[in-house]
Amino acid sequence: MSARGKVPKRYTYMDYTSGLLHHVTLSHLEYSTKYYYKIGGSDEDLLTFYGDFTTPPAPGRNTPIKFTVVGDLGQTYSSNITLGHMMKSQGQYLLNMGDFSYADSYQPCWDTWGRMMTPYSSKVPFIFTYGNHEIEYDEAAGERVSFVAATRRFSTPWKAATAKDPCTTL
C-alpha cells in the first residue's frame, strides 16, 4: 500500500518561513499491524525521514487501550525527562493538552520542539488541544492571531470523527 500526501507546504509568519510540512491521510489500515513510512525525498526536501508505527488492536470489550497524556511539555531538561517517561510508557496514543513548545510567537522554537518530539511522535499518533502558548502575537499588526504555527504544522483528524471504523484514519 502507499499513500501520497498533498504537496508539502511552508508557512510564513512575520520574517520566518517554515521548512516543508508534509500531511497525509492514511486509510484502510489493519489493526495490530506495523507500518513503515518515508517522508520527503523530493528535490526540495533537505532530508528524507523513515519511520514506523503500529496500529492499535481491534476494539473489543476487553481490549486495553493505553493513552499517554501530557501538557505544558516545553523544551527544558525536564521536558527531556518527561519525554523519556513517555517513550517507556508504551502508550498507543498521545493526548497533548496544549502549551506544546512555549514558542510564544518565536517560530524557530516550533522547529526545535518538533526535532525533540520526533523519536516519539514518529511512532505514536497524537491528538491535541491548544493552550494559551499556541496563540501567536503579530507585532506588525499589533494583534493576537489564532494558533498560526499549530494549525499549519498539525493536521487534526476531524473527518475521522464520523468514521465507523476507528482505524479508518490515523
Cite the DSSP H helix spans in 16-101. Answer: 77-89
Q: Could you read off the pLDDT of 1-49 as tens digits, one per residue? A: 777 777 888 998 888 999 888 888 888 899 999 999 887 766 655 577 7
Confidence at residue 168, expressed as pLDDT on a 0 to 100 scale: 46
Angle at 122 between CA 79 and CA 162, to 5 degrees: 105
Contact 169, 32 (CB under 8 A): no
pLDDT higher than threshold 80 for residue 152: yes
Q: What is the DSSP track for 43-67?
A: TT-S--EEEEEEPPPPP-TT----E
Q: Could you read off the pLDDT of 121-149 as tens digits, one per residue? A: 888 888 888 999 998 877 777 777 778 89
Cα(161)–Cα(163) distance, integer angstroms: 6
Percent pLDDT > 70 in the chain is 85
Q: Within the chain, how many helices (H) and strands (E) appear?
A: 3, 9
Domain 12-58+66-162 has CATH 3.60.21.10: yes
Say if residue 156 is exposed, middle or buried (CB neighbours under 10 Å; 0-12, 13-18, 19+). exposed
